[in-house]
Amino acid sequence: MFERITDHARKAMADARQHALRLRHPAIAPEHLLLGLLSQENTDADHVLHEVGVDRESLRLALQSTLVPGDSAHAANAALPFTPEAKKVLESMMREAAERGHSHLGPAHLLLALAGVSDAMPAQILAKLGADLPALRAAVQTHTTRLERGAVRLLLISNSTMHGGGYLEHCGAQIRDFLGSGRRRVLFVPYALADHDAYAAKAKAAFAALGHELVSVHTQEQGPRAVDEADAVFVGGGNTFRLLNALYERSLLPAIQRRALQGMPYVGSSAGTNVATLSIRTTNDMPIVQPPTFTALQLVPFQINPHYLDPDPTSKHMGETREERLRQFHEEHDTPVLGLREGCMLRVEGKQATLLGTTNARLFRRGQAPQEFVPPCDLSFLLGD
């Protein structure tokens, strides 16, 4: 179980122990888990509480007012057990994740679990505030399926390098126009490649040539805080599975998602484009690591296949073509997939989506023949979720 717990949820459990020690209680109970959860900011649990109209600070104060200090003195490094009720919460946390098909266990699952143990204090307080289990489950469903994307600004690039050119050279003019006038502080996410320093140095030189300052998130002590302080974010290409896994491990995915939904410019290339979509199910990459889930930033309501390759009628290769693999995706899913050939990119401004670049895009939809689109052209119909 514990290897599936996200950083935020793991930190909430560690903080729960500290609250139990501070209150001189003999074991970790559900109320300590809720206090630990409320100490984590900008998590999916925060969004869920906001959806049901519960202020995090009001909930914390309501909980603290019911807690009475005990008389169990422990050393700072003491190992505290979980109460039977807390064990029920952890078991319920796994069920809530499983019912949603999630392999990871995050703050929202912990919140649902706390509301689900009805004889424990947190569930009773949450219910009094209007956040009982049915309301929270509905809010989780709303948060995961209906994101407000009206303010998003995205530049989703198929590839970072074209044959015969340098890094970001073929799309430099589009990036410059997208970021606008004035010097921007761009936060770079290098986690799709293993050598973060070398990757950051290459990206920094490219953005300096465009007139912008680039800072890599791997050099920052607090990644989510660095996202909050950035003017824009650039997520580079490489292995998509490694990238998404790092976004979850470092608690960057909710931070980037929140800022992007508020209008922070997001530039993605290759893997960085993959993670901007609903999921990474249509990446071309090998799963060299296992992220907690395939669910990505969900900044657009469709899938993208970067580096899309057309079938070669002269090839003797007997494996599936890219088109055949995307048809297999549509045997299981209804979501449209936009195949971006190298040299192609999509710019999204709120409800407007424009295909740009020097090559065509190919759109795949379940039960329909693929469609070709020649840039520049309007693809805003893809945003009509």
pLDDT at 102: 66
Reported as type and span, the H/E element at residue 292 is none
pLDDT at 70 over 80: yes
Q: Residues 271, 193: contact at Cβ < 8 Å?
A: no
| Phi, then psi, of 364 in degrees rounded to 5 | -115, 130
pLDDT at 317 over 80: no
> Average pLDDT in the 157-182 region?
94
Range with the poorest average pLDDT among 63-72, 142-151, 317-326, 335-344: 142-151
- Angstrom CA distances, 222 to 226, 258, 261, 266, 337, stand at 6, 16, 21, 19, 34
Written as six digits, the tokens of 232 are 């824009």
> Which entry of 160, 269, 270, 279 is annotated as an active-site residue?
270
pLDDT at 154: 98
pLDDT in tens, 329-340: 999 888 999 999
pLDDT at 1: 55
pLDDT at 103: 62
pLDDT in tens, 270-306: 999 999 998 999 999 999 999 878 889 989 999 999 9
- For 27, left (φ over 0), alpha (ψ -120 to 50), or beta? beta
Angle at 144 between CA 2 and CA 353, to 5 degrees: 130
Contacts of 349 (CB under 8 A, 6+ apart): 152, 153
Q: What is the mean pLDDT of the chain?
A: 91
Whether 65 is catalytic is no
pLDDT at 140 over 90: no
Give the separation between CA 214 and CA 272, rounded to whole angstroms.
16
pTM value is 0.67
Whether 104 is catalytic is no
Reported as type and span, the H/E element at residue 355 is strand 352-357
Range with the poorest average pLDDT among 43-57, 163-177, 181-195, 246-260: 43-57
Residues 310-328 as b/e (b if ≥16 CB within 10 A, e otherwise) read: eeeeeeeeeeeebbeebee
- Angstrom CA distances, 161 to 169, 176, 244, 245, 286, stand at 7, 16, 21, 24, 20
Q: Which residue has the higher pLDDT, 218 or 8?
A: 218
Report CA Rg, the chain. 23
Angle at 122 between CA 120 and CA 123, to 5 degrees: 70
**Judging by DSSP bridges, how do beta strands 352-357 and 377-378 pair with one another?**
antiparallel
Tokens 């143990």, located at residue = 117
Domains and CATH numbers, the chain: 2-145 (1.10.1780.10), 153-383 (3.40.50.880)
Q: Residues 133, 115: contact at Cβ < 8 Å?
A: yes
> Average pLDDT in the 171-187 region?
95
pLDDT at 316: 77
> Average pLDDT in the 89-111 region?
83
pLDDT at 266: 98
pLDDT at 79: 80
pLDDT at 75: 66
> Which entry of 19, 25, 102, 307 is annotated as an active-site residue?
307
pLDDT at 333: 87
> Average pLDDT in the 370-374 region?
97
Q: Residues 29, 122: contact at Cβ < 8 Å?
A: no
> Which entry of 285, 315, 334, 380 is annotated as an active-site residue?
285
Coil, strand or helix at 213: strand
Whether 47 is catalytic is no
Angle at 236 between CA 292 and CA 370, to 5 degrees: 80
